[in-house]
Chains A and B, each alone.
Chain A
Amino acid sequence: MVWDQLPLPSRIRSALQRTHLKSVREVLSLPAVDVQRLTGLAQPEVHQLLTVAAAVCRRHAPLTVLQLQRGECRRCESGLRLSVSCPVLDGLLRGGLPVGGITELSGPSGAGKTQLALQISLSVQYPVEHGGLGAGALYICTEDSFPIRRLQQMISEQAILRSEVPPSVISGLHFSDHVYIEHAADLDSLQVCLSRRAPVLLAAGLVRLIVVDSVAALFRSEFQTEDWLERNKQLLTFSTMLHQLSQEFTTPVLCINQQESHGAVGSSSGPLSSSVTPALGLAWANQVMMRLMMLRHQTTVSRGDQSSTLRRLEVVFAPHLARSKRDVGVWREGVRGVPVLE
């Protein structure tokens, strides 16, 4: 940052050049008294410096919500949603996944979370007018190997799942070419994938959905309880990276989590081997904008020649949604909500 480019009097500029401060962000991330001490400037001059620095740092002036609604700011909250390829579930979510922030999908194993994630990895590829975002998905697997055969099966049945979309559109989408699969065995390789691979794919416009299946590695008690600070730090680094990617590229992020029970926020997953997991659970929950839960039921539901164990998809919390749920079936063609009977 060259201080000459800022509209500041030369006295302030030369004071800045004598310090180690290199950018407006550095100036703004210090308390005003520190800036005063480092530059030796008087308080009104520091105030002037901070105001000019802040104006440079700001992306745009405050907009009214009316202006936002009218689409006057392209990069801001626009109400854009990613459809999940089912009108019943889109109804539950008031459109689909929000394009900013982390959506968490948790539930016990076998509930169908991966099924839904695969389906969303396909729905993102549809053009915007059909509820997608016109780009592919980055699917990061940390647990089992990627269920490639199930994905192929879902791809072959897209015309049935999305019967409202013209067949020419569907046949024009080469689904398997646009699901980028990565394997990350632990937290470190997960960070590497997010910091190296993801930005490249996102910047090139190849991908506009990130799926992490799953984030259980964040909570696994491989360490002793004393390493809680380290675990917490790793969790924050990971979630910060996801947020930055999500915001910079207006990309929805879907994180799958293993959870055995509906406990209150802060309660942990799986065997409670230490008291660390509830604390990490809360730290993680604070990073999540929308939390969904998928549960498996005892009953079955049938459609035509298929039958499926009944599931339930529930909104646990979201800033724009009520705590509601829908019954769900998992079929050959994908995950479909059971229409609500009046």
Chain B
Amino acid sequence: MTVELETANNHGGGEAVTALELLQREKECGSITTFSSQLDRALKGGLPVGKVTEICGAPGVGKTQLCLQLSVDVQVPLSFGGLEGQVIFMDTEGSFVLQRVGDVAAAVVRHFSLVAEDGEQKDAMQTFDMESILSNIFLVRCHDYVELLAELHLLPDFLRDQPRVRLLVIDSVAFPFRQQLDDLSLRTRLLQGLAQQLVSIATRHNIAVVITNQMTTRLQDSQSHLVPALGEIWGHASTTRILLQWEGSRQVAAIVKSPCCMDTAVQYHITSEGFRDVNQPENSDQPEIPLTERRSL
């Protein structure tokens, strides 16, 4: 069975690949661990490289924390099964705080120092330290949506010069697009263009694209529901959507859209070290909660 892949831009013409080749390519792409083994398991390995993943949630639930964790995790050396890649972090809200990145990086270095076994891993730890981790994170600060769009126009050239980048984070896409943009139809068209750009960057440069989104309220049947912001059309931008939410005092990560994973939810919490599992020794055989048993969004 042959699948004809036609690229819609002027970089290369149509290319025919088999479904098997596509599957192999996907397997080789790899994924970025979240450092929460339950979430990694639910995502079948972690955040997929070559795809766009959206993280939504209310303020303070941990979206930026997960992004910071991924920015360090993408750098884990190959000998530990990591991608040894670099990251571009586009911060639109000013929530990228140096102190916090330091915490997360230090904890990851500590963890791998303890588990390093063979010579190759111990060698890798010689160069996997705080300084190298900080030097592999490129920070771009965007003050409004025009600056964000500008940075995305310049991204392909930057990525050609920096082939080791394996992760692009935009935290958040919602913030700049919900300010100063009164013309909603223009906003929708800009977001559609943005979505296409992100997919193209993810596939062409073999990068995991992670975007964060805010929540908004929608009135349905005279009841207000929390839904991801930026409208329904934006909902199609990402391959996978992870919803972070509070359930009482617990924090839950729900995978609400994914081509390969069942709708599941896992509990997590943010520690001084970063994004982590919640230790549940009693329930260790049943960490995941099927989404159908929970109240729907």
The interface bits of chain B over 129-153 (1 if a CB of A lies within 8 angstroms of the residue's CB, else 0) are 0010011111111010111011101
**A272 neighbours in B (Cβ, 8 Å):** none
**Which A residues lie at the B interface, using CB under 8 A?**
25, 28-34, 43-44, 50-51, 53-55, 57-59, 62-69, 76-79, 94-95, 98, 100-101, 233, 236, 239-240, 243-244, 247, 264-266, 275, 278-279, 282-283, 285-286, 288-289, 291, 316-320, 322
**B215 neighbours in A (Cβ, 8 Å):** 282, 286
Q: Are A77 and B150 CB-contacts (below 8 A) given A278-B224, A285-B58?
A: no
A58 to B150, Cβ gap below 8 A? yes
B153 to A64, Cβ gap below 8 A? no
User: CB < 8 Å: which of B138, B147, B175 contacts A58?
Assistant: B147
> What is the CB-to-nearest-CB distance from B19 to chain A, in angstroms, rounded to a whole number?
31
**A64 neighbours in B (Cβ, 8 Å):** 134-139
Tell me what chain B mostly uses at the interface: helix, strand, loop, or mixed.
mixed
**A30 neighbours in B (Cβ, 8 Å):** 186
A62 to B100, Cβ gap below 8 A? no
> What is the CB-to-nearest-CB distance from B260 to chain A, in angstroms, rounded to a whole number?
31
**A53 neighbours in B (Cβ, 8 Å):** 150, 153
Of A59, A100, A320, most buried by chain B (CB within 10 Å of CB) is A320
The interface bits of chain B over 176-198 (1 if a CB of A lies within 8 angstroms of the residue's CB, else 0) are 00111010001001101100000
Question: For chains A and B in complex, what number of residue pairs have CB atoms within 8 angstroms?
Answer: 152
A44 to B10, Cβ gap below 8 A? yes
A58 to B151, Cβ gap below 8 A? yes
**A33 neighbours in B (Cβ, 8 Å):** 193
Question: A162 CA to B10 CA in the complex, in Å?
Answer: 66
Say whether B281 faces chain A, with CB atoms less than 8 Å apart: no
Say whether B43 faces chain A, with CB atoms less than 8 Å apart: no
Residue of A nearest to B59 (CB): A285
User: CB < 8 Å: which of B60, B95, B150 contacts A101?
Assistant: B95
Question: A54 CA to B192 CA in the complex, in Å?
Answer: 19
User: CB < 8 Å: which of A76, A247, A282, A320 contacts B100?
Assistant: A320
**A289 neighbours in B (Cβ, 8 Å):** 93-95
Say whether B15 faces chain A, with CB atoms less than 8 Å apart: no
> What is the CB-to-nearest-CB distance from A43 to chain B, in angstroms, rounded to a whole number?
7
**A239 neighbours in B (Cβ, 8 Å):** 179
Interface residue total, chain B, C-beta cutoff 8 A: 58
B98 to A68, Cβ gap below 8 A? yes
Q: Are A62 and B58 CB-contacts (below 8 A) given A43-B10, A54-B150, A289-B95?
A: no
**A28 neighbours in B (Cβ, 8 Å):** 146, 149-150, 153
Question: A78 CA to B182 CA in the complex, in Å?
Answer: 33
Of B141, B143, B180, B219, most buried by chain A (CB within 10 Å of CB) is B141
User: CB < 8 Å: which of B138, B143, B146, B193 contacts A247?
Assistant: B143
Residue of B nearest to A288 (CB): B59
A51 to B60, Cβ gap below 8 A? no
**B10 neighbours in A (Cβ, 8 Å):** 43-44
User: CB < 8 Å: which of A59, A68, A94, A244 contacts B139?
Assistant: A68
Say whether B88 faces chain A, with CB atoms less than 8 Å apart: yes
